Amino acid sequence: MPRQPTQQTKPNPVKAARRDPTSAGQRDAAVNRIASHNYFLLEKFEAGIALTGTEVKSIRGGRANLKDAYGLVKDGELWLLNAHISPYEHGSYSNHDAVRTRKLLIHRDEIRKLIGKTQQKGLTLIPTRMYFKNGRVKVELALAKGKQLWDKRETERRRTADREAREAIARSRKRA
């Protein structure tokens, strides 16, 4: 009977596959930067979104825009309107519509809570970001109240004052 070699070989180390940071959930697929400028963001919700295959591929490529989008509760369901997802460049004749109404997937008790809050005067649902979580596209919705022009100016003044205070503290630490 042949003798077994005593030297053990090490198994090859498993290489981590390099994934796209957007697909891996490390980076947002789309962000609505103007939302915090135009609205007071009161409460945030996470919702899934019903998409077609070409829409998901377009979002992975970073071709989504939430600038003019908003959420709407209608007949006990939550919908996302005016969200622009560009057609997939390698798509066929069955490519998706760029601006279509998409259904948001959220628990029924959260929808009931949103119905009560959105019927209050001045409150609306604004999508703030779109991202991947466990391979699925999620949308972060914020319950928002619109800002007046003087609110925007006040926010800008406060931001400037905070920045100047931080810079003054940094200068005083440098001297010491």
Domain CATH code at residue 126: 2.40.280.10
Residue at 170 is within a domain: no
pLDDT given for residue 47 in this prediction = 92
Q: Distance from CA of residue 97 to its chain's centroid?
A: 20
Residue at 58 is within a domain: yes
Using an 8 Å Cβ cutoff, are 76 and 118 in contact? no
- pLDDT values of the chain reduced to their tens digit, one per residue, 176 residues: 667 666 666 666 666 666 677 766 667 888 888 888 888 889 999 999 998 888 888 888 888 899 989 998 999 899 999 998 888 877 777 777 778 898 999 999 999 888 888 887 778 899 999 998 888 899 999 998 888 888 889 888 999 999 999 999 999 988 86
pLDDT given for residue 79 in this prediction = 93
Read off the pTM: 0.73
pLDDT given for residue 29 in this prediction = 83
Residue at 77 is within a domain: yes
Residues constituting the chain: 176
Using an 8 Å Cβ cutoff, are 29 and 64 in contact? yes
CB atoms closer than 10 angstroms to residue 145: 14
pLDDT given for residue 104 in this prediction = 92
Residue at 55 is within a domain: yes
Residue at 92 is within a domain: yes
Using an 8 Å Cβ cutoff, are 142 and 129 in contact? no
Domain that holds residue 139: 26-147
Residue at 115 is within a domain: yes
Handedness of CA 74, 38, 107, 139 (dihedral sign): positive
Residue at 11 is within a domain: no
C-alpha distances (whole Å) from 110 to each of 26, 38, 67, 81 are: 27, 24, 24, 19
Residue at 7 is within a domain: no
pLDDT given for residue 63 in this prediction = 86
Which are the contacts of 104, defined by CB distance < 8 A and separation ≥ 6? 47, 48, 49, 50, 71, 78, 79, 80, 139, 141
Number of domains into which the chain is organized: 1
